[in-house]
């Protein structure tokens, strides 16, 4: 049908009289690094919830590649390669980092139902989890319970968990939220270093990071897509300027 990795077709959602998604049309080509921006309450996180199945749209369809996934449960979408992270850390506090990521690997390889063999028998899965953590500089703390990790490390663990599912499309909801500026650059460098086979969409408020790491930008306002284009096009767009200046978010620079 199309060469897009992920697409939304005419997606609508409202809670009572509050419209949180109005006729959203979106198509992410394979391998791009998309930034999703917009003022608070524009419906960015809602859109991620709709695409990953945490919310059901009132109307419209979600496509992953050529497959209509609108009816699928969140975990079924994850198994097909559509994976998200959370704006607020949503981790397993008393599992160690290695245990958490090993769990995600085991779920992907469908061995998490096995209760008659010891976990330690699955050496490949443990190695894979450890490699993912190493790549994100978490190997030295991989035996610590998640709740004892520094905040920035927990943000990285969010991404490690997502990577362990081998995503085709990765939706990052403010991956650097709450992380100091210097660290957030490192975090985005890690995201930029991901394989080009993975299509990435991230929500981010820091325009410097957006313009540095996004190859294309989507602007949302009031539950709908205002415009979509390259960073240069977005920076030059009067409507975007108006939205941001009007809301007092500071000027856009490229």
Partner 1 sequence: MTSASVAGPHAYLQAQARWRRGEIAFWLATLLPLVLTPDYLVLASQVAIAGLFALSLDLILGFSGIISLGHAAYFGVGAYTAGLLSVWGWGEPLTGLLIAGLAAGLLGYVTSFIIARFHHLALIMITLGLGLLLQEAANSASWLTGGFDGLQGINTWPILQKFDFDLYGYTAYSYSLAVLFIVFLAARRLVYSPFGLALRGIRENGQRMPAIGAPVYSHIRTIYTIGAMIAGIAGALLAQTTETVSLEALGFQRSADVVVMLIVGGAGRLYGGLIGAIVYIVARDRFSGLNPQYWYFWIGLLLIAVVMLLPNGILGGLALLAQRLRAKS
Interface ranges with partner 1 (CB under 8 A): 52, 73-75, 78-79, 83-84, 86, 90-95, 98-100, 102-104, 106-108, 111-120, 122-123, 125-127, 129-130, 139-144, 161, 164-165
Closest contact distance (angstroms) between CB of 203 and partner 1 is 16
Beta bridge partners of 221: 224
Closest contact distance (angstroms) between CB of 212 and partner 1 is 27
Residue (108 or 241) nearer to partner 1, CB: 108
Closest contact distance (angstroms) between CB of 206 and partner 1 is 24
Residue (79 or 249) nearer to partner 1, CB: 79
Largest CA distance in the chain: 62
248: tokens are 């007092």
Residue (144 or 249) nearer to partner 1, CB: 144
Residue (56 or 94) nearer to partner 1, CB: 94
Which helix (H) or strand (E) segment holds residue 171: the answer is strand 169-173
* Sheet order of strands, 216-221 included: 82-85, 169-173, 199-203, 33-37, 216-221, 224-229
Residue (128 or 228) nearer to partner 1, CB: 128
Closest contact distance (angstroms) between CB of 180 and partner 1 is 24
Residue (117 or 253) nearer to partner 1, CB: 117
Residue 26's closest CA among 8, 41, 10?
Answer: 8
Closest contact distance (angstroms) between CB of 243 and partner 1 is 30
Residue 200 has φ and ψ, to the nearest 5°, of -120, 135
User: How far is residue 17 CA from its own chain's centroid?
Assistant: 28
Closest contact distance (angstroms) between CB of 89 and partner 1 is 10
Closest contact distance (angstroms) between CB of 84 and partner 1 is 6
| Strands 224-229 and 216-221, bridge-based pairing | antiparallel
User: How many other C-beta atoms are found inside a 10 Å radius of the C-beta of residue 127?
Assistant: 12
User: How many other C-beta atoms are found inside a 10 Å radius of the C-beta of residue 212?
Assistant: 15
Helix (H, G, I), strand (E, B) or coil at 112: coil
CB 127 within 8 A of CB 155: no
Residue (136 or 226) nearer to partner 1, CB: 136
Helix (H, G, I), strand (E, B) or coil at 28: strand
């Amino acid at each position: 049908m199309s060469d897009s990795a992920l697409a939304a077709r005419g997606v609508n959602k409202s809670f009572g009289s509050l419209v949180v998604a109005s006729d959203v049309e979106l198509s992410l080509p394979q391998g791009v690094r998309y930034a999703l921006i917009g003022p608070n309450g524009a419906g960015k996180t809602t859109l991620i919830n709709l695409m990953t199945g945490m919310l059901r749209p009132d109307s419209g369809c979600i496509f992953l590649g050529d497959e209509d996934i609108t009816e699928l449960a969140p975990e079924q979408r994850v198994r097909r390669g559509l994976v998200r992270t959370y704006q607020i850390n949503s981790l397993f506090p008393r599992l160690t980092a290695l245990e958490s990521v090993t769990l995600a690997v085991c779920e992907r390889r469908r061995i998490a139902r096995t209760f008659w063999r010891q976990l330690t028998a699955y050496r490949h899965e443990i190695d894979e989890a450890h490699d993912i953590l190493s790549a994100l500089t978490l190997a030295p703390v991989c035996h610590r319970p998640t709740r004892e990790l520094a905040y920035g490390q927990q943000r990285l663990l969010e991404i490690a968990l997502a990577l362990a599912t081998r995503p085709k499309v990765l939706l990052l909801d403010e991956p650097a939220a709450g992380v100091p500026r210097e660290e957030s650059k490192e975090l985005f460098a890690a995201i930029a270093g991901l394989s080009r086979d993975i299509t990435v969409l991230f929500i981010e408020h820091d325009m410097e990071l957006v313009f540095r790491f996004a190859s294309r930008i989507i602007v949302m306002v009031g539950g709908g897509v205002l415009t979509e284009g390259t960073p240069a096009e977005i920076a030059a767009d009067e409507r975007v300027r108006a939205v941001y200046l009007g809301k007092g978010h500071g000027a856009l620079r490229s």
